[in-house]
Structure 1
Amino acid sequence: MTENAGSVVDEETFSVRRTIRIAAPVEKVWRAVAEPEHISRWFGRTELHGRGVGATGTMTFPDYDVIPLRVEAHDEPHLISYRWNNDDALGDLPDAVDESTSTVFTFTLEAVDGGTQLTVVETGFERTSDPLANLESHRTGWDAELDKMVALVEADAAEETA
């Protein structure tokens, strides 16, 4: 598996960023970040109703509430952005995305020699109940989740070329 640097927190802009390389073509990485059945393999169980900007759905993690999710931007296969509710301190999450407390995470994909460069940036933590704690929680979360995604996508790509 390709080794990548960890996520970085920017407390001034209340954002988390991670840029990684994946030894797989953009099309495979796109499926991993944009198609619910592929997202569900490495992140949370994802369901989306519709396709493209405005599609809504949920993401479910073990031992956690169902998280409302909405596609905010969609430029296949280069960029997809999601808005989600994920503030642990709020207790029961609403059934729809709450603009006042939600954050947005954006995946940007770029073809590079030997595969794909993927950058994820999550913003909006200043609207959460505990911005610094949530920044740190999501920093470690992106590290763990994206490492799982890299392993899966690279294994799938290697299997297809074998």
Structure 2
Amino acid sequence: MSFSDEDTLAVVVEREVPFPAEKIWRALTQPHLIEEWLMKNAFKPVVGHRFDLSADWGMVDCEVQSIEPHKALAYSWNTKDLRSTVTWTLTPTDNGTLLRMEQIGFTQEQLPYYRGASAAWPRFMEALESVVARLDDAGKDA
């Protein structure tokens, strides 16, 4: 793997999930649901809102960058010396929604972070899908 100092790596995880975007959006934006599949947090779906994600291994400093309800969400993901952005994109399909997560900003010196994110995001995505699967369609948690 070689790249110049300006180049960065990205982790991308995509999967089609058999649920409408509105249902997935709840799991991406409601703090008690985010905690179930990702980490403890004080998320609010408001551009400019700063929040932390916390786990046993440490904290991630985040700020909401952009929101397009039921379609896209982006927030900074900063920890130690990593400055990155996580972007979620939801695209309706015939069978549900194509859910795409992209984390950009890994430099050549941050390959351990990149490898960790590459391993963790597929598990987070699977846990997110499990949370969505148990939600009812009326907007209440099952």
Match of 2:40 in 1: 45
Matches within 5 A, 1:78-93: 78-87=71-80, 90=81
Q: 1:102 aligns with which of 83, 104, 107?
A: 83
Question: Once superposed, which parts of structure 1, at least 4 consecutive aligned residues long, lie more than 6 Å away?
Answer: none
Q: Which residue of 2 aligns with 1:135?
A: 114
1:116 corresponds in structure 2 to 97
Structure 2 residue runs of 5 or longer lacking an equivalent are none
Displacement after TM superposition at 1:115 (Å): 1.2
Indicate if the aligned counterparts of 1:109 and 1:117 stay in contact, CA closer than 8 A: yes
Structure 2 partner of 1:94: none
Task: State the SS of the aligned residue for 2:125.
Answer: helix
User: Which of 51, 58, 62 is the equivalent residue of 1:69?
Assistant: 62
TM-score normalized with structure 1 length = 0.74
Provide the residue aligned with 1:29 in structure 2: 24
Q: How many residues align structurally?
A: 133
Shift of 1:134: 1.2
CA distance in 2: counterparts of 1:30 and 1:145, whole angstroms: 15
TM-score relative to the length of structure 2: 0.83
- Where does structure 1 lack aligned partners over 5 or more consecutive residues? 1-10, 91-100
Q: Percent identity?
A: 23
RMSD: 2.1
Question: How far did 1:30 drift?
Answer: 0.7
